[in-house]
Chain A
Amino acid sequence: MNKLFWFPTPIEAGADMTLTPDPLENGTVFPPIPSQPDVHSTGRVGVSFTIPANVPTSRGAALLTPGYVPETMRGILILSGVESYLLVDDVHYVKKGGNLPRLVANGRFIAQDIP
């Protein structure tokens, strides 16, 4: 088990946060990990996420904060070393942009015109 601390501002934003590690290439999917109120050893109040042992280090993860902006932050989850942390600004993650299939009428319904 690893523990990741997070210190949201405002602190109440941490109440419903979840951390979801990205799926692995072998098909393993990790369920969202809920936050829990916690106090860091330094005395700083925040939330923590208890990360199962089967989550590997140095993989992508999404941190969801419902109702706050940014609602989703992506980062790389570092689980080795003295303390776990989420390296945000995940430059490896991009979205495919620009080209969705055109929509066409299909009788009384709609279809995507897939090439």
Chain B
Amino acid sequence: MSPQRWTVKCTSEFALFERFLRGEDIRPVLEQRATLGFNSQRIWCAYSIPLIGVLNPFDHPDYFDKWPDLLALTASYGLYAEVTAFTGPYPFFPSQASMVAFWDGLVTALEPVSNLLDLEAVNEGDNGPNLGVPLNLLRQPACLSSHGSAVQDAPPMEPHWTVAGYRSPFSEWQRKVGHNAMEWADKWNIPVWTNEYPRTDNDPNLDHWYDGAASSALLCAGAGCFHSPHGKDSTLFTGNELDCAKAFIAGADSVPLEFQAGAYSRVEPNPPGILRIYRRTLSDGRFHEVRVRE
């Protein structure tokens, strides 16, 4: 086997499995995401949340059998999946034992699937509505996995497993999605990326989407996870959201991944209009830098 560098170019796709279970045609969505240049989707497993929908796993006797079917379909579009097991509130799980059993079912269903990016235990695990998942009782899968993300700018849920998802604060997010994720990666020596950006309706500035993805692709394990209203309900991107997605991918693709191996430095001073200049320099002296705009 020979490892080939790969960066996370993910989009939130929370309701995709729910739509798939309902028998809806999700292929136009997959085609749009793949055509735009995304290589992965963040898909949720169980939830009851306005604007996203309701997915009660116990309504579907074939729930676990359908996961490999969904990922076979997404693989045909060249897409990997970050699968997030829990996000609160938890009306479908009467006990922590039921959560552990659910996790075991997911691990069994997904471990053999080759296009799994990672299995994430909980979304923003220390956020009030999401509390209550017995992380200490969940077995670590053989695939890439994490205990989950935390609230904005908090350490990802610990103890870490093989990867981790970071959540940046909104202030200067276009530089923190990459830089702050890198700091956790350096601390733990595991791949870390921001697995939920601010939503496009909260910041429609295309430059921010380009710069956030570019600096992240240079500094940490992924350009990160693009987040938008139609990523929540897994329907087609339109309007400014579509333009932001294109900017995100263009930024991610602007970075040659060989420079991930370079030494990190920050170039100063910052010219007017520039928040930070991030650089990685290879041992042969070549470097790549990203200028993150205000």
Residue B242, interface by CB 8 Å: yes
Residue A115, interface by CB 8 Å: yes
B35:A72 contact, CB within 8 angstroms: yes
B5:A102 contact, CB within 8 angstroms: no
A107 to B75, CA, bound (A): 25
A112 to B80, CA, bound (A): 11
B3:A108 contact, CB within 8 angstroms: no
B4:A114 contact, CB within 8 angstroms: yes
* B: number of interface residues (CB 8 Å): 42
B242:A113 contact, CB within 8 angstroms: no
- On chain B, the residues within 8 Å of A97 by CB distance are 72-73, 75-76
Interface of A is mostly: loop
Q: Taking A71-B28, A99-B114, A100-B115 as contacts, is the C-beta distance between A105 and B162 under 8 angstroms?
A: yes
Question: CB < 8 Å: which of A71, A95, A105, A114 contacts B32?
Answer: A71
- On chain A, the residues within 8 Å of B8 by CB distance are 110
B80:A103 contact, CB within 8 angstroms: yes
Mask, B139-181, CB within 8 Å of A = 1, is 0000010000000000000000011000000000000000000
A103:B75 contact, CB within 8 angstroms: no
CB contact list, A70-100 vs B, under 8 A: 70-72, 95-100
**Residue from A95, A100, A105 with most neighbouring chain B CB atoms (10 Å):** A100
Q: Which residues of B contact A (CB under 8 A)?
A: 1-8, 28, 31-32, 35, 72-73, 75-78, 80, 114-118, 144, 162-163, 182, 185-186, 189-192, 220-222, 236, 238-239, 242, 260
Given contacts A99-B75, A110-B8, 10 further A-B contacts (CB under 8 A): A67-B238, A71-B28, A71-B236, A102-B114, A104-B3, A105-B162, A108-B192, A110-B6, A110-B191, A113-B2
Q: Which residues of A contact B (CB under 8 A)?
A: 66-67, 69-72, 95-115
The 3 closest A-B pairs by CB, nearest first: A111-B3, A97-B76, A108-B185
